[in-house]
Every structure is written in structure tokens, then in C-alpha cells.
Amino acid sequence: MVAYGGKRKISESTIRRLSIYYRVLSILEKENYETVSSKELARREKLTPAQVRKDLSFFGSFGTRGLGYPVSELKDRIAQILGLNKIWNVALIGVGNIGSALVGYKEFQRQNFNIKVIFDNDQRKIGSNHKGIKVSDIKNLESDLKANNIEIVIVAVPATVAQYIVDDVVKAGIKGILNFAPVNLKVPGDVFLRNENMSMELEYLSFALRNFMNPSEMDEKGIS
């Protein structure tokens, strides 16, 4: 749980759902909807209307009974809460298998995460161009992070070297790190670290397929 505004607490799952509401609201805005009910938001995301109302109530009163939520206003408010109303300067370390894919990942750009610098230690890659960004030598990590005002670093290096790399990133003063290496990393108490593991969602599917015949059965028993 995260205290918000010193009063209420926000769970990690709520933050995830905010990301999802933001996406749905962006789609609704494109479809020219002016308002949306908690019922409709819930239906699109397979949540309950009560859950939606509870989540959104964290951030002040929005909905008008009978009218629903104003789409653009709610979207902007959530963007503000998630910190998506500014451009974040991001660096990527490692242009291997996953790293190369991330450089071209359009969702980052769309959500205002701007990959400005790429680092690698492979001499064959240094100086090469990835989607318009020249690969820098990892030796220049600290100075290049500073020169580009980097705020968030994505680490996509082999598990065996990830801790060394992250230590250097921390030393350079970075407070937000997204790690793709399948390893538990240690960071000091003043650094936010998140781990991305793409097999987690597959594990959700294997859990579901193993335990249930079909999703509606889960629904009946009360999936949230």
C-alpha cells in the first residue's frame, strides 16, 4: 500500500488498474465518448462497478450520478496521478534480444517514456544506430546519464552482470530502475526498482487452464 496525499492508501493492484483505466479512457476519447459509467468501465475490464468506483474515489469526486465520469477529464487526472503528463527521460542498458525489441516498442513513446540513450559493452554494437539512437559505450554511463538528464533506467542485460550494472546506475544517482534480467537485485533504500518478467502472464494462463474448464466458471465463482 502506498499512502497518497497523506490520507488514503493505494495498493499496487490499484496502480495497475489505474494504468488500465488510462488505456480504456484513451480509447473512449478516440471514439468520441464524453462520459462513461462505472458500469461500462467495469464491463470493458471485467471488474465490478463497485471496484471501479472505489478505485476512482481515491482521487476526489468525479462521477455524477446518472451521468458517469467525464472521459477526457478523468483521463487527464489519471495521467497526472501516474506521472504521465510529463516526458520521462529514459536510458536503456543492453541491446541484446530483449533490449532491441524495447527500443522499437511504441507503447513507451505513447506513454511519454522517451528512450534517449542506449548503452552496451559490445564493441560491435557501440556506435551503431538503433531507431535513430546511437549506442553509447557503457564506460561512459555516469557522464552520459547526467548529460541526458536521465530519470529512469531500463536494464536488459544478462542476469550474471545485472547487479554490477545496477550498482553503477545507482552510483550515477538514478532513482527509478526497470529490470528485465531474471534475477533478484539489491538497491539502496532510496531507489525504486521494478522487475519485468514476461513469463508471469503465461503462468496466470497455466494456472487458469489447469484449475478451470473455462473463464465463465471462474466468473460464477467470483473472479475479480
- Among positions 36-65, residues that touch a copy of itself (CB under 8 A) are 44
Q: Which is nearer to a copy of itself, 29 or 151 (CB)?
A: 151
108-167: contacts with a copy of itself (CB under 8 A): 108, 110-111, 113, 151-152, 154
Residue 198 makes contact with a copy of itself by CB under 8 A: yes
Segment lying near a copy of itself (by CB under 8 A), choices 30-38, 54-62, 164-172, 183-191: 183-191
Cell of 10: 493505494
Between 139 and 186, name the residue whose CB sits nearer to a copy of itself. 186
Q: Which is nearer to a copy of itself, 126 or 155 (CB)?
A: 155
Q: ∠ CA(215), CA(217), CA(221), 5° rounding?
A: 115
CB closer to a copy of itself out of 164 and 204: 204
User: For the chain, where are the E strands, in sequence order?
Assistant: 2-4, 8-10, 35-36, 69-70, 88-93, 113-120, 129-130, 133-137, 152-155, 176-179, 192-195
> CB of 139: closest distance to a copy of itself in angstroms?
26
Residue 176 vs residues 10, 70, 205: alpha-carbon distances, Å: 19, 32, 30
Which residues lie across from 131 on neighbouring strands? Answer: none
Q: Is 37 left (phi over 0), alpha (psi -120 to 50) or beta?
A: beta
Site for a copy of itself in 91-110 (CB under 8 A): 97-98, 100-102, 104-108, 110
C-alpha cell of residue 41: 468501465
Nearer to a copy of itself, 4 or 137 (CB): 4
